[in-house]
Amino acid sequence: MSDPLIVHWPKGIAARGEVRGQYVHVVDLAPTILDALALQPPQLLNGVAQRPLEGVSFAHTFADGATPTNKHVQYYEMIGSRALWADGWKAVVEQPQGGPLTEALLAQQRWELYHVAEDFSECEDLARRIRTSSPS
């Protein structure tokens, strides 16, 4: 599943109305803003050491819509649903909502696999094709 992101910065982005297809995750927003403003994240904040930022800047895509992403791997999870995106491939398992997350429920989950570089809309679950074509 993909969610749209609109980046508007008239003084910093010459392109107008162009669409980008590089993979970006929400954790990439702060590194991108800092990169675009040529700022470094603080090492300390109110005397507390800060963890390094997660994510990768996508500011390089502002000038060139054809440039490849600098991101190669992204893992994310929410309420038992998990996914791993890696270089144009996405493995995902969805957690049905409602009820507690148990080991038995986790064991019943089936991973899906998509080659999102070629199947952007995630229509063809390659894992399902493998499961249904393999002898049991």
HSE, CB side, 13 Å, CA atoms: give it for residue 124: 10
Asked if residue 79 and residue 51 are part of one domain, the reply reads: no
pLDDT tens, residue order, the chain (136 aa): 678 889 999 999 999 989 888 889 999 999 999 999 999 999 999 999 999 999 999 999 999 989 999 999 999 988 778 899 999 999 999 877 666 777 877 777 889 999 999 998 899 999 988 877 766 5
Please say which residue of 71, 97, 126 terminates a domain. Answer: 71
**Domain enclosing residue 121, as ranges:** 72-136
Asked if residue 99 and residue 45 are part of one domain, the reply reads: no
Domain of 128, CATH number, reads 3.30.1120.10
- Give dist(CA 68, CA 84) in Å, integer: 19
Asked if residue 94 and residue 63 are part of one domain, the reply reads: no
Do β-strands 48-49 and 73-78 pair in parallel, antiparallel, or remain unpaired?
unpaired
Q: What are phi and psi of 103, to 5 degrees?
A: -60, -40
Asked if residue 109 and residue 59 are part of one domain, the reply reads: no
- Give dist(CA 14, CA 78) in Å, integer: 36
> Count of domains in the chain?
2
Asked if residue 123 and residue 78 are part of one domain, the reply reads: yes
Predicted model pTM: 0.79
